[in-house]
Amino acid sequence: MHGWEGLLFEKPGAAPDKLAVARAMRMVPTPAEAALWSSLRDRQLGGWKFRRQHVIAGYIVDFYCAELRVAVEVDGGVHEGRRAHDRQRDESLAWLGVRVVRFDNVIGHQKRMNPRPLLVAQL
């Protein structure tokens, strides 16, 4: 196959390298991601299925619900120097119909705090 033919017959889905990174990230979540995941997993929030470290259009989002077309991001220290990148990423995802909901790392990290009301209010 040459040029555009490769794109035409390419298997849909995420690039293998992005999938590998997402899998690795699932193995070592931040404390905030782990706390939030404990409230999202197993359809605990409104019966909606969330995936963690999910690849969408080449971006890895912390959590994603396909039914709601919502990505949930936990912003920690790594995001401090990347505000412009995050804004561009959010715009790209919005163009695809995915709404991004962002939470500060501190909110997600509070293990005893129930993040459900905050999430429900955003959804």
pLDDT over 50 (residue 2)? no
Instruction: Give the burial class of 90: count Cβ atoms within 10 A of its Cβ; 0-12 exposed, 13-18 middle, 19 or more buried.
Output: middle
| Domain 14-122 in CATH 3.30.420.40 | no
User: Tell me: the pLDDT tens digits for 26-62?
Assistant: 899 988 888 889 888 999 888 999 999 999 999 999 9
Residue closest to 78 by CA, chosen among 86, 70, 88: 86
* Bigger pLDDT: 55 vs 114: 55
Instruction: Give the burial class of 34: count Cβ atoms within 10 A of its Cβ; 0-12 exposed, 13-18 middle, 19 or more buried.
Output: middle
